[in-house]
Structure 1
Amino acid sequence: MAAGAPSPAAPALERVARSRQDLPPWAGGLVGALLVLIAWTVLALTVFSSAGNVPTPWAVVQQLAADGFGLYWANVSITTWSALQGYLWGNLVAIALAVAVLLVPPLEGAATQVAVLTYCVPLTAIGPIVLIVSPPGSRITSVFLAALSVVFTSVVGCLLGLRAADRTALDVVRAYGGSRWTALVKVRLIAALPNVFAALKLAAPAAFLGAVLGEYFGGVDSGLGILITAAQTNLRYAQLWALALMSGAVAGAGYLLVGVLARLLTPWSSTGEREGGISR
């Protein structure tokens, strides 16, 4: 074959690459999920068959059907409500810190330290302390850990977004005598939305998992964390796996929901991403 001549396999490779590009976006996720289910089934029937602590996917489905929809829905809704409260409070604190840094730059060091502190403090260490000081039977621990789980991510995203504003637009506001508050409202907030929503997407599953962990410490009589504790204590392996998968599914649903909201409120950002992907 002459130097520089195309390989005989090149047309076939091009057809394969083109067929992959023609696949819908969800096809890759579906294939990945099928591969995970196959690997899970094989491991459950071979490596972990003697111990029995890894049930097959079919056994987990049977457990979900045996427990009934009402059991899971009642506890998922309670945990989700706690996660939503923590998500709102945590993001309000994060946005307030980011705005304060932009309006008063000397506060950046203190705000950054607060954000890093919320990230570095182990939830398993702070959870029991919050439980002790909370009123009996309250869900403050669950809400607090959910809020604590989102502060750092949201602060970083908000600061990056608010600093991504076009310098020319900021100079125009300043030239016309606008204050920092005017520049924040007129320019920075619009420019910050894509980065802010990116942080909010990551914060959604973190808040839910923080709420579950707060219930896991006790002090309440309902929620996914309580069900997980009961299943672990009674060695109900199929139910434990079902609860773990359900927690992951709800956390993922929160991520997708915020993503859909971001596409609706920042269509220019999603359009730019698609165009960039096509050009590449």
Structure 2
Amino acid sequence: MAMASATEPQQDGARALAPVLKVLNGVPLAVWTLIGLLLFWEAYVRLANVPAFILPAPSAIAQEFRAYGHRLFPNALVTMFEVVFGFTCAVLIGVPLAVAIVYSKFIQKGVYPLIVASQTIPKVAIAPLLLTWFGYGMTPKIVIVILLSFFPIVINSVMGLRSASDEMIHLARSMGASAWQTFWKFRLPHALPSIFAGLKLATALSVIGAIVAEFIGADKGLGYLILIAGSNFDVARQFAAIICIALIGMCFFFTLEMVERFAIPWRNKSDVSSEA
């Protein structure tokens, strides 16, 4: 009886810890890695007495979020609008242009080489010209985002649309499918994985384009805050703005990944079957 009574508290403790252990096991490994890096960063800054104007501790950056959040959030919305609107315009330009390249010999030979050649021009060199033409408003920022992000969309869309085998196209035509039905039912579904690969690459480039545009000339946005904080040697504020930029990029990327799962359900089923 004594042994049974001694094991009962242990069993009760194990039952109480079970939900906590279940939650901890569900945390991704990347989160634990990030926590470990932040703890190492905090310990190194404190033990080595690193000056705050060189490398602030994560706790100092968190304090900056609390103290300066009223400025970070509105400027983050400005940058997010530039990214989302510019990316949307790049998609509306890039995907139809890729379709035109695949279906038109004239555009393929006359326009496609010029698109490829245009990527050798640094967009930072074009930015001052855009400011001269469009001023310091929202327009030049969106144009730079479009110029940076539409190229991977075009290239990957062209590759995906061309990846449909000749046998598949001949089969569609032999079944009486029209040109539109062949595109909509055969070429486009087969090209979607490649198109989404280009879109996900363009998400990162669109964020970079917005920040580069704000570096060149802006009076609001996260890039503008980074420049102002740098001139005041406020490195903690710079880190806070950089973290906001990273969060925007991650949210944008994972949102697009969710759209991809919805748009290509058959790919998800094939992945599950291959893992099984």
Matches within 5 A, 1:57-76: 57-68=58-69, 70-76=70-76
- Asked whether the equivalents of residues 52 and 236 of structure 2 are also in contact (C-alpha less than 8 Å), the reply is no
Compute the TM-score of the two structures, normalised by the length of structure 2.
Answer: 0.82
Match of 2:37 in 1: 36
Q: How does 1:2-41 map to 2 (within 5 A)?
A: 24=26, 27-41=28-42
CA offset at residue 235 of structure 1?
A: 1.0
| SS of match in other structure, 2:233 | coil
Conservation of the 8 A alpha-carbon contact between 1:170 and 1:183: yes
Deviations 1:204-227 (A, max 9, x none): 222122112111111x32111111
More helix per residue:
2
CA spacing shift, 1:56–1:118, aligned 2, 3 Å: farther
Q: 1:149 aligns to what SS in structure 2? A: helix
Give the direction of change, closer, same or farther, for the CA distance of 1:137–1:107 in structure 2 (3 Å limit).
Answer: closer
Query: What are structure 2's unaligned runs of at least 5 residues?
Result: 1-24
User: How large is the Cα RMSD of the aligned pairs?
Assistant: 2.3
Q: Distance in 2 between matches of 1:250 and 1:66?
A: 20
**8 Å contact kept, 2:64–2:237:** yes
Aligned to 2:224: 226
After the TM superposition, which of the residue ranges 220-229 and 35-44 deviates more from structure 2? 35-44
> Separation in 2 of the partners of 1:229 and 1:78?
16
Partner of 1:252: 250
Deviation at 1:36, TM superposition (A): 2.6
The letter for the 1-side match of 2:194 is: N
- Give 1:50 deviation, angstroms: 4.3
Cα distance change of structure 1 residues 113 and 66 upon mapping to structure 2, 3 Å threshold: same
Q: Tell me the TM-score normalised to structure 1 length.
A: 0.81
Cα distance, 1:176–1:206 mapped onto 2, change above 3 Å: same
Structure 2 residue 51 is matched with structure 1 residue 77: no
Partner Cα separation in structure 1 for residue 109 and residue 181 of structure 2: 24
* C-alpha contact 1:209 1:247 (8 A) present in aligned 2: no
CA contact (8 A) 1:48 1:54 kept: no
Q: How do 1:265-276 residues align onto structure 2 when only pairs under 5 Å count?
A: 265-276=263-274
* CA distance in 2 between partners of 1:40 and 1:226 (Å): 26
State yes or no: 1:155 paired with 2:158. no
Give the letter for the 1:139 counterpart: M
Aligned counterparts of 1:232 and 1:86: Cα–Cα separation in 2: 27
Amino acid at match of 1:38: L
What amino acid is aligned across from residue 268 of structure 1 in structure 2?
A: W
Tell me how many residue pairs correspond in the alignment.
Answer: 252
Q: In the alignment, is the contact (CA less than 8 A) between 1:206 and 1:251 conserved in 2?
A: no
Letter in 1 for 2:172: V
SS where residue 142 of structure 1 aligns? Answer: helix
| Cα separation, 2, equivalents of 1:177 and 1:209 | 46
Does structure 1 conserve the Cα–Cα contact (< 8 Å) formed by 2:41 and 2:57?
yes
Question: Which residues in structure 2 correspond to 1:105-116 (within 5 Å)?
Answer: 105-116=105-116
Instruction: State the partner residue of 1:93.
Output: 93
- Residue 246 of structure 2 aligns with an amino acid whose one-letter code is G
CA apart distance, 1:196 = 1.2
Q: Amino acid of the residue matched to residue 124 of structure 1?
A: V
- Runs (5+) with no aligned partner, structure 1: 1-22
Question: What do the CA deviations read for 1:25-73 (whole angstroms, capped 9, x no partner)?
Answer: x5221122123313433443466814731111111000110113x3222
Q: CA deviation at 1:91?
A: 1.8
- Counterpart CA distance in 2 for 1:155 and 1:36 is 38
Q: Distance in 1 between matches of 2:49 and 2:206?
A: 32
Contact 2:145 2:207 in 1 (8 A): yes
Q: Which residue of 2 aligns with 1:18?
A: none
Confirm whether residue 102 of structure 1 aligns to residue 102 of structure 2. Answer: yes
Q: Measure the CA separation in 2 of the matches of 1:170 and 1:52.
A: 62
Aligned AA (2:201): L
Deviation at 1:237, TM superposition (A): 0.6
